[in-house]
Chain A
Amino acid sequence: AQRVTQPEKLLSVFKGAPVELKCNYSYSGSPELFWYVQYSRQRLQLLLRHISRESIKGFTADLNKGETSFHLKKPFAQEEDSAMYYCAPEFPNKFYFGSGTKLNVKP
């Protein structure tokens, strides 16, 4: 069965430090992969999607098909990055969200 795992519930880093939010999925095929973010008192919104190969707000996400992972990375965290991050693989006709990682960037 398809599954998505975000192993860290909470990740605390200092401003300027690198950050990596982990996401692992189990699926034999090639899902489309998304990261969504929810800032305090705002609605859930798309951060980036793998198909676009884009960098949004300094974040990038690398797909590792061998490890079935899609980790979100940023070289220098900013305080405004503090938010809840959800990994969301799109399997055929099914939509899953990870349980989320709360990123806390300390000054």
Chain B
Amino acid sequence: EAGVTQSPTHLIKTRGQQATLRCSPISGHTSVYWYQQALGLGLQFLLWYDEGEERNRGNFPPRFSGRQFPNYSSELNVNALELEDSALYLCASSPLVAETYEQYFGPGTRLTVT
């Protein structure tokens, strides 16, 4: 079974630009989650998509947005990039198992803003 995939592996952008990160969930998983992991910090919850709908978002400004496509893949868009957006962005997917959300993670996209 193929795992969660993310692209690109690395992304270098300039301050003020926009970044688009992509995630393909495990086949059969309908939920996709996005997390930011900045250096020295834990995972910060960004967004949760399920069945094409945004279910919840963390404490991030609106310039962080995304969407989920009919095939359940997802995009994370970060507009007006700031230096502090430099981080590892992790995507996870989950089925609904026994009414809890067990998450399977991708390898991450390293975003560097210069």
Contact = CB atoms under 8 A, between A and B. Distances in A.
Interface of A: 32, 34, 36, 43-46, 49, 51, 86, 88, 90, 93-100
Contact of A43 (B44, B58, B106): B106
10 contacts: A46-B104, A49-B100, A51-B98, A93-B55, A93-B56, A94-B45, A95-B33, A95-B101, A96-B45, A100-B42
Interface of B: 3, 33, 35, 41-45, 48, 55-56, 58, 90, 92, 98, 100-108
Q: Tell me what chain B mostly uses at the interface: helix, strand, loop, or mixed.
A: strand
A94 B35 CA distance: 12
Contact of B35 (A34, A46, A49, A97): A97
A55 B74 CA distance: 33
